[in-house]
Amino acid sequence: MEAIALRTDLRETLEKDAEQEARSINEIVNEAVEHYVRQRQLAKLDAEIAAYERLHPELRQKYWGQWIAVHEQKLVDHDSDRTALYRRVRAQYGRTAVLIRQVTEQPSGEIWVRTPDTGKAAR
């Protein structure tokens, strides 16, 4: 595995922050990277939601009432069983953000996103 090298100015800042907060630099860096990854996943999910809304008229005709999975702004799977769909999506895409949603009459509605800290967050 490749080592990660921080710029000198960042390392100095992190060393001061770590000392003030009585934490390790690794803790701070991992927290920052976790935040970055979460923001990227939420941005990806926003794109998947927009794709779902764009695809909704066709999805409503073909898959009304079923659960669908949207990845990279395309329909990638569907099933009447949400759990079965979820398992297939996780097996194929791992922890990548994939929109899983039931096709209803209206394209918009509340969406729940699993997060490591709270378990769920409304979008």
Torsions phi, psi for 100 (to 5 deg): -120, 125
Q: Would the pTM count as exceeding 0.85?
A: no
The confidence score (pLDDT) of residue 4 equals 87
Flag residues of the chain having pLDDT under 70. 109-123
Long-range contacts of the stretch 83-87 (C-beta < 8 A, 24+)? none
User: Burial letters for 70-101: b for 16+ Cβ neighbours within 10 Å, e otherwise?
Assistant: bbeeebebbbeeeeebbeebeeeeeeebbbbb
Report domain extents, the chain: 8-122
Q: What digits encode the pLDDT tens for the residues 36-54? A: 999 999 999 999 999 999 9
